Structure 1
């Protein structure tokens, strides 16, 4: 049986299509990648050039776009590569893919959580907003947005790689941490419980804060027409993006855990 010392290549077996279908998927995926890059770059340039947008909410939105560029650059090329016919990937490249995809997802959620904090302060604590959301605070929150996902992902990957792997076939188009844990880890239960536990604490802490923030925001807006306009113009789009991201994350997690049994 193979273990981590002997496995240096993985086979990605998530796509079994004809060359015609591969070409169609490749073209649409490439167009999606180009569109994602152009839209994110456009928003970043607009926010940087317009001094009137140099407010905390738009700074965090700019950071969200930067993370979008980071995630799309890390995901789309590795998604396109197997469509060309090559389905082999080295262990080091696989680990790098996992790191990029996981940090992108966690950073997205953390950034949306910080944006909820900004809206909470602006609506529920307006008199303290300017004194709390200073430039120094914004820098600290930006560091937090990137540091927490990187630290969590790095810890999870280091724990995962401490245990031997008993396979080299990944039933995906790209490397995914759950694929290694659920399918290839020889000591699956041990690794799964450790990694799941760390993400359980992280995820539930942020969700609890999000629920608290938006309950407070909705209550404040319910009693003030002024804040109702603020909610509709800034909070509602953020809330829709947040709910959409959480739903997609849940479905992806369910598919990873139960869709390939």
Structure 2
């Protein structure tokens, strides 16, 4: 049921943006990547969970585990990159409104989106190339879902290089993302409080508060996942359930937050349902 809700909400958000030319603006084109990324993450986890429920077996074969882990890490890296790009877009729009159309051109938007995905793919591909080159003791694992740390438990050799690279990429991505988001939102707040237009200030603050809340939620969920791996005496089943929830919580609420809180998207969604889904 949860997976169907995620599919429905995210597909509606994608269709709303794609089918309405008035939403083909920088902010919404960057936002379009979020439901696509959410579908990647939820699809990597939910079908396997459904299969485990139907078969009663939690055993995962190595190829399935690797594929699942790869897309889960793409999803995690993609979410951080997309929210950072959205913060940059709002920063230019609010702090430099006269330069917005010059800076955020369709060409530059495509460059931002392309670079964002290519960097994520490169970082995750290197991570898994290092992993797949290590010898392993077994080829099955009993878990709700797989990720890089769980795959490393199958390895029979030193994982120091993998651990260093993993921590390095996480540290770099967090420093860059958190630094950019902290800087941009501080500048946005300063600009908003200096603005004499109360309506513009309120709208900007509402949009940025939505983005910032979502990002902080993601960071808290990610922090819990990292801590759960470090606590060895945590019971496996609740731990894995929490991790699965961490992955599927944002995809459930992202389309609701952006669909209902963003006026333009909300209006187009209502129009979409009235005219295409339930025509009178």
* Distance in 2 of aligned mates of 1:47 and 1:259: 44
Q: CA deviation at 1:192?
A: 1.1
Normalising by the residue count of structure 2, what TM-score does the alignment of the two structures yield? 0.76
Where does 1:164-175 land on structure 2 (aligned, <5 Å)? 164-167=135-138, 170=141, 172-175=143-146
Q: Report the equivalent of 2:11.
A: 41
* Distance in 1 of aligned mates of 2:47 and 2:58: 13
Structure 1, unpaired ranges of 5+: 1-30
Where does 1:24-35 land on structure 2 (aligned, <5 Å)? 31-35=1-5
Where does 1:193-204 land on structure 2 (aligned, <5 Å)? 193-204=164-175
Between 1:120-129 and 1:164-173, the stretch displaced more is 164-173
SS of equivalent residue, structure 2 residue 157:
coil
Where does 1:74-223 land on structure 2 (aligned, <5 Å)? 74-84=44-54, 85-167=56-138, 170=141, 172-181=143-152, 184=155, 186-223=157-194
Q: CA deviation at 1:162?
A: 2.2
SS of equivalent residue, structure 2 residue 136:
coil
Encode CA deviations 1:223-252: one digit per residue, 9 max, x unaligned: 115342232332111111111111111111
* Distance in 2 of aligned mates of 1:113 and 1:145: 10
When residues 190 and 51 of structure 1 are mapped into structure 2, their CA distance, relative to the original with a 3 A threshold, is: closer
Normalising by the residue count of structure 1, what TM-score does the alignment of the two structures yield? 0.81
Runs of 4+ in 1 over 6 A off after TM superposition: none
Q: CA deviation at 1:185?
A: 5.3
8 Å CA contact retained: 1:181, 1:192: no
* Distance in 2 of aligned mates of 1:258 and 1:46: 43
CA RMSD of aligned residues (A): 2.0
When residues 81 and 109 of structure 1 are mapped into structure 2, their CA distance, relative to the original with a 3 A threshold, is: same
Q: Report the equivalent of 1:5.
A: none
Aligned residues: 231
* Distance in 1 of aligned mates of 2:212 and 2:43: 25
Q: Report the equivalent of 1:250.
A: 223
1:51 to 7, 15, 21: 21
* Distance in 2 of aligned mates of 1:105 and 1:111: 10
